[in-house]
Amino acid sequence: MDEAMTSEARDVITEIKTHYQRLVSQQNRLTPSANCNPANYYTHQNGIFAILDGRYGDSPNTIAPPVEIYHPVFASFVAEDRYDALDLPTDFVQKVAKLLRTVSQIATIEKSRQATTRSLLSDLLNLTIVQMVNRNSTSADYIVTYHRGSQPLGAAAIAIIEEKSELGSSGDASVQGSFSFIEHWADSNQEALRAACFCPSFVIAVAGSWIVICGAVLTSSAIVHRLTDYIWLGHSRAMDDDRALRLAPTAYKAGEQTINFKYVKPLKGSDASCATFLAAECEGAQRRIVVKFVERYGVRAHRLLAKERLAPELLYYGDIWLSGPAQRGCGPRKMVVMEYVAGMTAGDAALKNDGILPSGVHPAVYRAMSLLHKHGMVHGDVRLPNIIIEEDHEGKDVRDRVKIVDFDWAGEDGTVRYPLHLSTAIRWADGVDDYEPITAAHDDEMVAKLQQ
């Protein structure tokens, strides 16, 4: 790996580590029960250590990649949760029914039901549920831990459970659980274990006769995603029996061969929303690759342009996790692996050239879009950051070094649609809007804008 790339990666990682250290070493934090108060939660989400859970104060926070790609346990849970034909043991179903009956009783005081709930959940999960006090004297209502007996030492929080007497009383239990998650893993006793993993934990919130299950990880920020909606547990209908019945990837497949890789750095700097990474294969020459996680992808469009050397070689498109229940637990999300192209974006090249785009870029992009349109496909996001100019080692003309990337929106002309929440800071082509069909005319107008 060249020295410049190593230096850049080191700078990005240093920035991420600095933010992470500041997150876990915060002083004078409010307690989780105080932080889940709407006013305090609002203030916290306006700060630099906002929990990436989809909630914000004055302006939207970063949208983080799903927790399912950080640890397969979350993907496995989602897969099993969606599998209606899952064969559940009889005693487990009976225990669920008992929980339904118990939480149907109205509770006006949290402590009046906590002992019963803890006993039922412990029996249901077949795990010991305790209360653990952190060094700053805070504690979750209950916690399920795994104590490691070898290095790295620590008490992993398998599940953090918070309970409210009823939904809407004294804040959201899932929010309180999110803050309890941070308190547990930020404790100095967890330092060694915290440094060795993403700190994966389930956050379970019970409020009256409702329950929600979240997945949480700790990166440079705390990421908490709801793996279920709030589920009604109340035993309220006569014919209701059916309701009681109801690991980040580091390898990809190349044919029958499994290729292992290691991550080098995120390709969007320290931005916690980054789902695209520079990586290096572990065997052989340790080829550099790009790994990204997507909800949709124009595989045909990418392969068509790659065949004409107008895009990086596509090495893999498929399941994020290669085996087990986690394989089907990521929903529509897939992993994309492609060759890494050393160079710079067309935007960076223009900045280095007094704002003028190198002369060979426009013809190359025009050729790429014409090829897609000829085959009835569109790209949908023809912008300077998605155009790479490869480094020149052989005296090639610029037009022969242009590569198109980011095929997330690509697909059949007039059939694929723009995603929701398009950036309002970008000058899109006329007719572009949230969820509108993507057309060749849009691509053509965006190509024309490259010369403006």
Q: What is the pLDDT of residue 324?
A: 77
Q: Which residue has the tokens 């990586």?
A: 279
pLDDT digits (tens, 9 = 90+) for 377-404: 999 999 999 999 999 878 789 999 999 9
Q: Is the peptide bond before 152 cis (omega within 30 degrees of 0)?
A: yes
CB 86 within 8 A of CB 78: no
CB 35 within 8 A of CB 179: yes
Q: What is the pLDDT of residue 391?
A: 92
Least confident of 129-138, 258-267, 285-294: 129-138
Q: How many CB atoms lie within 10 A of CB 22?
A: 12
CB 384 within 8 A of CB 345: yes
Q: What is the pLDDT of residue 268?
A: 77
Q: Which two tokens stand for residue 295?
A: 């909800």
Contacts of residue 35, defined as CB under 8 A and 6 or more positions apart, other chains included, come to 29, 41, 44, 175, 176, 179
Q: What is the pLDDT of residue 133?
A: 66
Is a pLDDT exceeding 50 seen at residue 127? yes
Q: Which amino acid is present at 52?
A: L
pLDDT digits (tens, 9 = 90+) for 154-176: 999 999 988 887 776 677 899 99
Distances from the Cα of 52 to the Cα of 133, 176, 215, 224, 225, angstroms: 25, 14, 12, 6, 8
pLDDT digits (tens, 9 = 90+) for 232-260: 877 654 434 444 444 367 787 788 888 88
Q: What is the pLDDT of residue 331?
A: 79
CATH superfamily of 342-451: Transferase(Phosphotransferase) domain 1 (1.10.510.10)
CATH number, domain 238-340: 3.30.200
Is a pLDDT exceeding 70 seen at residue 85? no
One-letter-per-residue 3-state SS of 219-253: CCCEEEEECCCCEECCCCCCCCHHHHCCCCCCEEE
Which comes out higher in pLDDT, residue 313 or 331? 313
CB 262 within 8 A of CB 279: yes
CB 38 within 8 A of CB 176: no
pLDDT (mean) for 79-90: 70
pLDDT (mean) for 177-202: 93
Alpha-carbon gap, residue 133 to 314, rounded angstroms:
50
Work out the end-to-end distance of the chain between its first and last CA atoms, rounded to an integer number of angstroms. 36
CB 378 within 8 A of CB 442: yes
Delimiting residues of CATH 3.30.200 domain(s) in the chain: 238-340
Is a pLDDT exceeding 80 seen at residue 267? yes
Confidence of residue 220 (pLDDT cuts 50, 70, 90): confident
Q: What is the pLDDT of residue 239?
A: 38
Confidence of residue 137 (pLDDT cuts 50, 70, 90): low
Q: What is the pLDDT of residue 259?
A: 87
Contacts of residue 152, defined as CB under 8 A and 6 or more positions apart, other chains included, come to 192, 193, 195, 196
One-letter-per-residue 3-state SS of the chain: CCHHHHHHHHHHHHHHHHHHHHHHCCCCCCCHHHHCCHHHHHHHHCCCCCCECCCCCCCCCCCCCCHHHCCHHHHHHHHHHHCCCCCCCHHHHHHHHHHHHHHCCCCCCCHHHHHHHHHHHHHHHCCCCECCECCCCCECCEEEEEECCCCCCCEEEEEEEEEECCCCCCCCHHHHHHHHHHHHHHCHHHHHHHCCCCCCEEEEEEECCEEEEEEEEECCCEEEEECCCCEECCCCCCCCHHHHCCCCCCEEEECCEEEEEEEEEECCCCCCCCCEEEEEECCCCCCEEEEEEECCCCHHHHHHHHHCCCCCCEEEEECCCCCCHHHHCCCCCEEEEEECCCEEEHHHHHHCCCCCCCCCHHHHHHHHHHHHHHCCEECCCCCHHHEEEECCCCCCCHHHCEEECCCCCCEECCCCECCCCCCCCCCCCCCCCCCCECCHHHHHHHHHHCCC
Alpha-carbon gap, residue 326 to 105, rounded angstroms:
36
Confidence of residue 135 (pLDDT cuts 50, 70, 90): low
Alpha-carbon gap, residue 153 to 194, rounded angstroms:
9
Least confident of 1-5, 253-257, 342-346: 1-5
pLDDT digits (tens, 9 = 90+) for 275-319: 888 999 998 888 999 999 988 999 999 999 999 999 999 999 999
Q: What is the mean pLDDT of the chain?
A: 85
Delimiting residues of CATH 1.10.510.10 domain(s) in the chain: 342-451
Report the predicted TM-score, pTM, of the whole model to 2 decimal places: 0.69
Q: What is the pLDDT of residue 241?
A: 46
pLDDT (mean) for 149-156: 90
% residues pLDDT > 70 (the chain): 88
Least confident of 130-134, 251-255, 260-264, 370-374: 130-134
Q: What is the pLDDT of residue 46?
A: 92
Q: What is the pLDDT of residue 109?
A: 57
Confidence of residue 4 (pLDDT cuts 50, 70, 90): low
Radius of gyration of the chain (CA): 25
Is a pLDDT exceeding 50 seen at residue 434? yes
Alpha-carbon gap, residue 255 to 402, rounded angstroms:
28
